[in-house]
Amino acid sequence: MEHAKHIIRAVLLLVVAVVVFVLVRHFLYPKSFGLHGYYRFDSVAEYASAAPVHGDRGSCAACHEEKAATLTRGKHASVSCEVCHAPLSTHVQEEARVAPMPVDRSMQLCATCHQKLVARPKGFPQVVLPDHAVEKGAQITNGVCQECHNAHNPSE
């Protein structure tokens, strides 16, 4: 053992490292973790008390009645306003407009749902972009889709 002093020191160092890890883990371990399953139970209450970010169709309709009515009449009736625009809370706080709502007129917005893909259901309206617009005789510009389709009621 007399000549194994360095080994003993190295092993002690390792033990120290393990102890440090156990201590760090002890302090960082989330408090309510594993109480009711493999998650931090406190997060349930945290999420429940968070302020909502999104609204719904009705919350936009309160101020944009006409737009909402147009939307409900057409084929986009099932599409939420916030999918194409942005969450309510970025635009309205305490019932007043606080910031402009983004308006995306690009073809990419429509492509997220209408680009032709094998993985989409057969019956869903799909077109090959940008070929579709070119075939119909339009110039590809920002907002090209709006020349012929009303985003709020595409068949109009």
Partner 1 sequence: MMIENDGFLFPNDLHILWKLMIVMYPYVTGLVAGAFILASLYHVFHRNELRPIGRLSLVASLGFLLAAPATLQLHLGHPERGFNIMLTPNPSSAMAMFGFIYAAYLALLVFEIWLVHRVDIIMLASRSRGVQRWFYKVLALGVYDVSEEARHVDHGVLVVLAALGIPGAALLHGYVGFIFGAVKANPWWSTPLMPIIFLCSAIVSGIAMVVILYQVGVKFSGRRIDAACMQSLARWLWLFVIISVTLELLEIMTLAYEAADEWQIIKPLLVDQLAFSFIGIQLIFGALIPIILLGIVVLMSRYLTDQIRNTLCFVASLMLLVQVFAMRWNVVIGGQIFSKSLRGFRETYFPGLFDKEGIVLAILILVFPLVFIALFNRVLPVFEPLDAGNAESLKP
Residues that bind partner 1 (CB under 8 A): 2-7, 9-10, 13-14, 17, 21, 25, 28-30, 33-34, 38, 108, 111, 115, 117-120, 129
Q: C-beta of 58: minimal distance to ligand HEC in Å? A: 9
Q: Which tokens hold the place of 148?
A: 């012929």
Q: C-beta of 135: minimal distance to ligand HEC in Å? A: 8
Burial 23-55 (b: 16+ CB within 10 A, else e): eeeeeeeeeeeeeeeeeeeeeeeeeeeeeeeeb
Where on the chain is the footprint of ligand HEC (CB under 6 A)?
55, 57, 59-60, 62-64, 67-68, 71, 75-76, 78-79, 81-85, 88, 91-92, 95-97, 100-101, 103, 105, 107, 109-110, 112-114, 124-125, 127, 129-130, 132-133, 136-138, 144-149, 151-152, 154-155
Q: C-beta of 43: minimal distance to partner 1 in Å? A: 12
Q: Which tokens hold the place of 34?
A: 């594993």
Residue 73 contact partner, candidates ligand HEC, partner 1, none, CB within 5 to 8 A by sort of partner: none
Q: C-beta of 63: minimal distance to partner 1 in Å? A: 33
Long-range residue pairs from 69-75, CB within 8 A, at least 24 positions apart, any chain: 70/150, 70/152, 70/153, 71/152, 71/153, 73/153, 74/150, 74/152, 74/153, 74/154, 74/155, 74/156, 75/125, 75/153, 75/154, 75/155
